[in-house]
Amino acid sequence: MSLRNLKELTIIAKEAFSKTFLVAKSLCFLHVINTHVFTVASLYGPSMLPTFNLTGDWALAERFSHKLGKVGAGDIVILKSPVEPRKIMTKRVMGVEGDSVTYVVEPKNSDRTETIVVPKGHIWVEGDNIYNSKDSRNFGAVPYGLLRGKMLWKFNSIQEIMRGRIKKTKYLRPRRSKK
């Protein structure tokens, strides 16, 4: 092998290493952003009808409000299921620690309600479709530690992001209680 070929191989190797290192740094950066700042979630299932469709909806969620205690009644959150830890859920916060929450016990069978005071370090979550949602009515108040993010925007496809058509929808704003 000649000296010239060796120099060419060295240049190619340096360039390949440089590009590989750039890709690795970019992936690490994206991982940190996805884990600690923002995430994109694919939403499906009937529990949040009519706010979200059965399938095809996407949402941008931020991942720091819940760590700062900035989650309140009306917010839509991403959380780990307390009964199936591998499952991620999307629900609406109905109450935070110290709040008194009245809920329909079995909406399909009766109008009987119960009231609970949300314990310290917990939140009460429910799906918007109370007739088809597994939520705090089934498993009780959820510890803050299971929260994974708070929804910011809903969109129907990745193309909407690329075209700059993400809008804050009225559904993702906190519900105002009627007094």
Task: Give me the active site residues, please.
Answer: 47, 91
**Which residues face 149 on adjacent strands?**
78
The contacts of residue 83 (CB under 8 Å, 6+ apart) are 134, 138, 139
Tell me the C-alpha distance between 101 and 70, whole Å.
Answer: 19
The one-letter code for the residue type at 150 is: K
Sign of CA dihedral 124, 130, 134, 139: positive
